[in-house]
Structure 1
């Protein structure tokens, strides 16, 4: 439902399902929804929500996004208790990184099943319901890595790019039913996502942990920007300035972007930083070109 004065979507009394809602970005989005008066169901991998984690009044179900059965159970719960859904937030995800010749196929299958197919399952499960009621919103959490593809992150880049592609497809496919689709693309921010890292490329993952833990923003700031984009009905929501610079460099100054990525690859080959500070380099070169 939209506020006629501001043209912003209102979540007051909205029926919302948020996956990965017990921590990080998902939990902060849950808090914002509750503060606006939404009815919220959180799905996460825990058998029970960690004590004291969720705001009062929030419902909880165990929902491993790899499980078709648990997705079906969540749909039945929504049908039984709410008779419909206004907002689906596919936020659950894990982190991974690594060079293409080091990352194992088991690690590829793990991240694809959670970060990409987990979103696919959510969309497939609830699209019939949203079509039947002729309206609703799907919000998928991707990453800046879905738009800007630095070296040594092949698996993570690929699944997040897949979420962006899926979201764009559904944006057009579902518009005749008045279903709005939003994809959130944050860059590194402080979260517990680093705890999910696993794989053989330990050196690359140590760099990723360092970037996450030392990021200038936390989940609260990222959630606020994401929430504003959701309410405005934007398609791609870039939650931070460095993400916008990196993405716009790729879109509007492609030679700068390509040169930066190539230098990053050369640095990596010589034993340099695994995930170099690409945004800072892009900013500097774009500033030089503008003089």
Structure 2
């Protein structure tokens, strides 16, 4: 199997757990040097998911050293938060290229091999943000929703070829993902970072749930009860869901107003 974004967070937890099970694992990440976080028994290959050439090199490596592939986990991703009038187009382009097009490149690279084999499993890491769209996160919500849509499309498109597709939608859990924050809307990013920090859920715990879902060939893998509840509220109690999101949007607006007044009084 091949896992992207494997040097930390959920990716590291996944390759570690798969390695304990005795699986042949190829961990990839953007670092040119082997990350010290990886267990010694796990093979490593540098892979920048934004690079078509890097993906081609990964395919060549898999064919030469593994002879084929049973599982591709497109897990690499970055975090971003920001209101629509504050997030820059550079932020949008950055997160689209990594979180969405990085997944697209992985699927495009290995689908021909899976078709040739007549088997394979693609697992794409999205987020609960791909299903539930809170205010202040338009770029992140959009790319993760795109990953969900891509995964559902491929689920039906590739099934006749013996290929399974799953999408993973975790909510907040403790990880270093927030280290990638780089946007102009510091207030919203701080709020997102606080929710990650306060979570009691670990990457290892989430990975255990994900692996169970992979083994069961689930097309949608929700990793925690809170996420399942919110997803069901959106689907079956839409007015309640809308009211909650409206309250969150109003709070952002009030915070922006307080900030503007403070700036005006300063000057």
TM-score range, shorter chain: over 0.9
| Residue aligning to 1:255 | 239
Per the alignment, in what secondary structure is the counterpart of residue 191 of structure 1? Answer: coil
CA distance in 1, matches of 2:2, 2:194: 31
| Residue aligning to 2:25 | 40
Q: Which residue, 120, 139, 143 being the options, matches 2:104? A: 120
| Residue aligning to 2:7 | 22
Instruction: Name which of structure 1's ranges 262-271 and 74-83 shifts more when overlaid on structure 2.
Output: 262-271
| Aligned-pair CA distance for 1:57 | 2.3
| Residue aligning to 2:91 | 107
CA distance in 1, matches of 2:205, 2:124: 18
CA distance in 2, matches of 1:110, 1:195: 15
Residue by residue over 1:234-265, the C-alpha shift from the partner in whole angstroms, topping out at 9 and shown as x without a partner, is: 01111001100110000111111111111221
| Residue aligning to 1:150 | 134
CA distance in 2, matches of 1:109, 1:83: 35
Per the alignment, in what secondary structure is the counterpart of residue 177 of structure 2? Answer: helix
TM-score (norm 1): 0.87
Structure 1: runs of 5 or more not aligned: 1-15, 273-291
| Aligned-pair CA distance for 1:25 | 0.3
| Residue aligning to 1:168 | 152
| Residue aligning to 1:283 | none
Number of aligned residues = 256
Residue by residue over 1:68-119, the C-alpha shift from the partner in whole angstroms, topping out at 9 and shown as x without a partner, is: 1100000000111112100000000000000000000000000000000000
| Aligned-pair CA distance for 1:56 | 2.7
More helix by share: 2
TM-score (norm 2): 0.94
CA distance in 1, matches of 2:53, 2:127: 27
**Over aligned residues, Cα RMSD in angstroms?**
0.9
| Residue aligning to 1:89 | 73
| 1:50 matched to 2:38 | no
| Residue aligning to 2:220 | 236
CA distance in 1, matches of 2:62, 2:198: 39
| Aligned-pair CA distance for 1:48 | 1.3
